Structure 1
Amino acid sequence: MTPNLFPMNRRAMLGLSAGAAALAAFPALAQGSDKPIRFILPISAGSGVDNIVRAASVALGKAFGQPVVVENMPGAGGITGTAAIVKAAPDGLTLGMVSNNHVINPSVFKKMPFDAINDITPISVVGATPLVLMVNPKLPAKNVKELVALLRTKPEGYNYASSGNGTIIHLAGEMFMDEAGVKARHIPYKGTGPMATDMIAGQVEIGVIALPAVQQHIKSGALRAIGVCGPARSPAVPDIPTIAEQGLPNYVVEGWFAVIGPPKMQAADIKRVHDAVVAAFTTAEVREAMDKQGNVIKPTSAEEAASYFRSEAARYAALVKKANVVLE
């Protein structure tokens, strides 16, 4: 089960909001440089994290007092983009937003060009996003019971897509098949965007995708939602039941997203970046956007983020071993 991300009480949240308002009002908390902040996203355009960062990009620019340039750099389950962050100067001008994949990769790749824990500077685990089990609408299944029954009629006769081997999307699909006692063929893609495109076209029938990346497709009917993968229904799509409440109580998984920087950042730069990130993500405008996407925003401290990365790495190592994930 995915642990709660450092829950805050109401008083703490009010204090954080007040602090964020003050920070947003004084963008000079940044260095006052005209140089842009380069925000590298090690995922494809159209993914859940991509939608999150782009929704907050204007607020981030205001909080930093500097232009923010968002750059997608997908590949190798996030390793390509993260490697660019790791190699950047530790001056706070190059940052990135990573997800669960960052701490999963060491367990699924035989060789890593960097140490996922020690070669980055954690800034903040910003929040969590719901994952949703989706199917092509031509598939004659409208809920978990019907999908499981369908898969049992043709073992490995259907395909389930993922955003790449060893990603959280891959593991979420593997975990569903394992929990339900069914099988399907895994088809890995290079990112959520091309995965969703082929699901809509019917090239693959099943897949788990972050809610922000598929909300429009759910509304249009291009894809059908079977169930929310997290511990509770999402306020953004309250009519979609969880998979747990549909008969698989032990199936609970959700995504998280965190801001990181290159290794060896100075304490002053870490604080400056952390304050700007918190200020941006706690503005009324960004909170409204996050609520619509179904994201839960609970920014952690840099110290809490570092501890969370380590605990999540250990948890996913056990899941990868159980799922017997083999890279192609």
Structure 2
Amino acid sequence: MNFPLTRRAALALGAALCTGLGSVPAAWAQSPGNPPMRVILPVGPGSGVDTIVRAAQTALSKALNQPVVIENLPGAGGITGTSALVKAAPDGNTIAVISNNHAVNPSVFKKLPYDSLNDLTPISVVGGSPFLLVVNPKLVPAKTAKELQAFLKVKPEEHNYASSGNGTIIHLAGEMVIDAMEVEVRHVPYKGMGPMLTDIMAGQLEMGVASVASVQGQLKSGALRAIGVLGKSRIASLPDLPTFAEQGFPEVDVMGWFAVVAPAKLPPAQVKRLHEAVVAAFNDLEVMAAMAKQDNVIKPSTPEAARQFLKSEQERYAKIVVKANVKLD
């Protein structure tokens, strides 16, 4: 699949349902022939992928004709959740939604508890979401990338930016901005997008990279201000917000993607069933409207194309990690 991160893409399927089948039709919950589909999200609530998948939960349940139980398992840049996925039985009742971090991790961790390519079955690279650099407007007066650069060059030892975790795509995207601006800014890692954004809005930190879907409400309320789009193209919901490339920083070019995967050795019949369900769910009219509202680009790939894409992304990020000199604490 030709799904370049620089044009589409940074990185789960429904809300974290503490009650399991609580929001699922009773007939499904009671049917022994329709066990629940376990959907693992290696990210915390409030992240871009989490927001995307929440919008598709009902449609996916209908397409699968079985209830969907969501598990947010954040931690270690997605390793915690992915480890749970690879340990699951390949029976077609467990999937996960991974993002850019999955392709980054082999380059930033000395050892992973799984093989990122061979210990899973790709189902589809579903689509992507643009990233923004956002700031706390009370702490950062800058409204453009050049103004931000000038602000950060004053007392550099006092400035900071947050990420959703060491070595994550959000971390790398932030480093890309800092490197392009040639400034020194302290990195503060968090365990997930939600906590990161909460502390930026609370004034604990100055700025961070986030998906559009995860900050739309905060941008409208004025709790956060967007400085620029990290990808090559402007986005529909913020037509007046220029890209970093437009503002004089062409090196800043990254977006997020998300993909559905299952445990390794999944039978071909189950791969086909899951792929068809994912495609149907994201072709649902209500889901399509929600994706457009979140500025997401949806173009489900085949399982074969997804496998090739994951391999190429892993190779691409290996080069970026070396250039950015990313080191884990």
TM-score, scaled relative to structure 1: 0.90
1:300 is matched with 301
1:220 partnered with 2:221: yes
- Shift of residue 152 of structure 1? 1.1
Q: Kindly provide the CA deviation profile for residues 102-155 of structure 1, in whole angstroms up to 9, marking residues without a partner as x.
A: 010010011110011111111000001010000001111111010000111122
1:126 is matched with 126
1:39 is matched with 39
In structure 2, distance between residues paired with 1:125 and 1:147: 34
In structure 1, distance between residues paired with 2:60 and 2:240: 32
Find the residue that maps to 1:222 and give its secondary structure.
coil
In structure 1, distance between residues paired with 2:159 and 2:261: 38
2:190 is matched with 189
Q: 1:247-266 to 2 correspondence within 5 Å?
A: 247-266=248-267
2:206 is matched with 205
- Shift of residue 277 of structure 1? 0.1
- Shift of residue 245 of structure 1? 0.7
2:82 is matched with 82
2:48 is matched with 48
Q: 1:120-199 to 2 correspondence within 5 Å?
A: 120-138=120-138, 139-199=140-200
In structure 1, distance between residues paired with 2:54 and 2:264: 24
Q: Kindly provide the CA deviation profile for residues 17-53 of structure 1, in whole angstroms up to 9, marking residues without a partner as x.
A: xxxxxxxxxxxxxxx9320111100000010000011
- Aligned AA (2:185): A
Mark the runs of 5 or more structure 2 residues left unpaired by the alignment.
10-31
1:21 is matched with none
In structure 1, distance between residues paired with 2:72 and 2:254: 25
2:114 is matched with 114
- Aligned AA (2:78): G
2:63 is matched with 63
Q: Is the Cα–Cα contact under 8 Å of residues 290 and 297 in structure 1 kept in the other structure?
A: yes
Question: For the structure 1 residues 5 and 193, does the alpha-carbon distance in structure 2 shift closer, same or farther, using more than 3 Å as the test?
Answer: closer
Q: Is the Cα–Cα contact under 8 Å of residues 7 and 231 in structure 2 kept in the other structure?
A: no
In structure 1, distance between residues paired with 2:166 and 2:95: 25
Q: Is the Cα–Cα contact under 8 Å of residues 236 and 291 in structure 1 kept in the other structure?
A: no
Q: Is the Cα–Cα contact under 8 Å of residues 237 and 294 in structure 1 kept in the other structure?
A: no
Q: Is the Cα–Cα contact under 8 Å of residues 132 and 227 in structure 1 kept in the other structure?
A: yes
In structure 1, distance between residues paired with 2:41 and 2:287: 18
Mark the runs of 5 or more structure 1 residues left unpaired by the alignment.
7-31
- Shift of residue 95 of structure 1? 0.3
Q: Kindly provide the CA deviation profile for residues 202-241 of structure 1, in whole angstroms up to 9, marking residues without a partner as x.
A: 1110100011111000000001100111110111222221
In structure 2, distance between residues paired with 1:135 and 1:280: 34
In structure 1, distance between residues paired with 2:7 and 2:181: 24
In structure 2, distance between residues paired with 1:58 and 1:226: 34
Find the residue that maps to 2:149 and give its secondary structure.
helix
In structure 1, distance between residues paired with 2:208 and 2:8: 25
Find the residue that maps to 1:105 and give its secondary structure.
helix
In structure 2, distance between residues paired with 1:244 and 1:93: 43
1:309 is matched with 310
Find the residue that maps to 2:132 and give its secondary structure.
strand
- Shift of residue 179 of structure 1? 1.1
In structure 2, distance between residues paired with 1:237 and 1:305: 30
Find the residue that maps to 1:313 and give its secondary structure.
helix
- Shift of residue 192 of structure 1? 0.2
Q: Kindly provide the CA deviation profile for residues 265-298 of structure 1, in whole angstroms up to 9, marking residues without a partner as x.
A: 0111001000000000011110100000110001
Q: Is the Cα–Cα contact under 8 Å of residues 7 and 233 in structure 2 kept in the other structure?
A: no
TM-score, scaled relative to structure 2: 0.90
Alignment size in residue pairs: 304
Q: Kindly provide the CA deviation profile for residues 234-276 of structure 1, in whole angstroms up to 9, marking residues without a partner as x.
A: 1122222111111112211000000000011011100100000
- Aligned AA (2:266): M
